Amino acid sequence: MTDLTSPIAGISKPKAGRRDIGIKGRYAAERRFRAYGIAALSFGIIFLMMLLWSVFSKGYTAFQQTMITIPVEFSQQVIDPQNERTTNPQKLMTANYPIVARNALAKVLGADVNDRVAARSVGQMLSDGVRAQLRDMVVANPALIGTTQTVSLLASGDIDSAFKGQIDLKVSQENRKVNDQQVKWMNQMAEAGTLGKHFNGGIFVNGASSRPEAAGVGVALIGSFYMMLIVLALALPIGVAASIYLEEFAPKNKFTDLIEVNINNLAAVPSIVYGLLGLAVFVNFMGLPRSASMVGGFVLTLMTLPTIIIATRAALKAVPPSIRAAALGLGASKMQTIFHHVLPLAMPGILTGTIIGLAHALGETAPLLLIGMVAFVANYPTTPLDPSTALPVQIYMWANEAERAFVERTSGAIIILLLFLILMNVGAILLRRRFERRW
């Protein structure tokens, strides 16, 4: 800038030293401003990292489960002392299997089952799920009674947490869930190799349970799957049809304007309002069952429609008019032009928008709470009309549980949810990269 003044310099004598125009200060301000921008951006990214880190660091342990593998004696004394299993089939269902498991464990540990305190400590190391596990084994094969089998049993949630190092063992034993004796036994078994961590398949297949070690997202996955299916089957055709009409056929009049304003507003309506709509219309007025994934699917469909319509309209707009002109010029009707030429060309954009809409629907929680998806469902739903829950709702329910082991489960479920979302989004990106055309 100072160079510009040089022609004048020949006439008026250059002064000693430059005139201070505050350039230093202005450059400093420039650098500061730029630093604010970098700081803001890094804040955003750091928060993202912290969020993901806090979930993953708490949750990766949920995919491992502590199991105790010991020989279990299916003693007739305990299961069926009066030998009446042939006459009374109920007997095998109601036998005291936890005692069987407890005795087996006590034998391995060398604890005295007649000492009530020790017996209780031993019993608490095993999950309540062993009752069902051993019962199913015996009912399936009554010949097991009287034999000794090596069985892998679920450790209780507290032992699981302690073994994963999540319980602070320095706290005095009155204030923690596992006592010193149990910790000693646990370490003893771990050294002997009878107690160890295994891959936790249960978290993917089990239903709701009040015991963290036996709880899983199986039912929630099925419920979410049904809902996504319903959303896809309803929202995609309706959304595409609506966009085709608005983009290609609709005359510019008040009615079309009304629809446009409506769609824009619906995209911004809080999701919980859709839940109220679902509760009032689908559950209360139409009498569909509460907690059913069908109602959830309908609500999420209404919620996803605006997203899909907006994406589809953008994709239709991006198809150049020359395509339409060429088809019309060759004698195709308007309908033929659109369905045979414009729509296939717009399909990648439409599908990308749909996948993103589905991903949003998959993570949506609030409307599902209102239509009663907050339910304790232990059995798999067989139809979309059966009570069920959804992945994000399961996360919400677990987040409200106090036990330490449930924090781990919650984070584990979040990881599963995020994995699905990542898969869907990566799919959308790949689809766009692979098929999107630029004219």
| Cβ proximity to another protein, 105 vs 236, nearer residue | 236
Q: Nearest approach, Cβ of 214 to another protein (angstroms)?
A: 21
And the tokens for 226? 């049904």
In DSSP notation, 149-207 reads: EEEEEEBPHHHHHHHTT-S-TTS-GGGSSS-HHHHHHHHHHHHHTSEEEEE-THHHH--
Least distance (Å) from another protein to the CB of residue 109? 34
Nearer to another protein, 1 or 143 (CB): 1
Nearest-approach distance from CB 308 to another protein, in angstroms: 11
For 19, the enclosing helix (H) or strand (E) is none
Question: What's the closest the beta carbon of residue 113 comes to another protein, in angstroms?
Answer: 39
Round to whole Å and give the CA distance between 299 and 286.
13
| Nearest residue (CB) to another protein, 151 versus 302 | 302
Kindly state the smallest distance separating residue 127's Cβ from another protein, in Å.
24
Nearest-approach distance from CB 70 to another protein, in angstroms: 34
| Count of Cβ atoms closer than 10 Å to residue 409 Cβ | 28
Nearest approach in angstroms of CB 239 to another protein is: 8
Distances (CA, A) of 41 to 2, 31, 50, 52, 55: 35, 15, 14, 17, 22
Whether the Cβ atoms of residue 67 and residue 194 lie closer than 8 Å to each other = no
Residue 64: beta bridge partners?
A: 199
Residue 431 is encoded by which pair of tokens?
A: 């689809």
Strand-pair partners of 68: 153, 195
Judged by CB, which is closer to another protein: 109, or 221? 221
Amino acid code (one letter) for 88: N
Q: Which amino acid is residue 49, in one-letter code?
A: M
In terms of CB distance, is 153 or 343 closer to another protein? Answer: 343
d(CA 134, CA 115): 24
- Comparing CB distances to another protein, the nearer of 74 and 298 is 298
Cβ nearer to another protein, comparing 78 with 421: 421
Helices 343-363, 293-318: crossing angle, 10 deg rounding: 140
| Phi/psi of residue 153, nearest 5 degrees | -110, 150
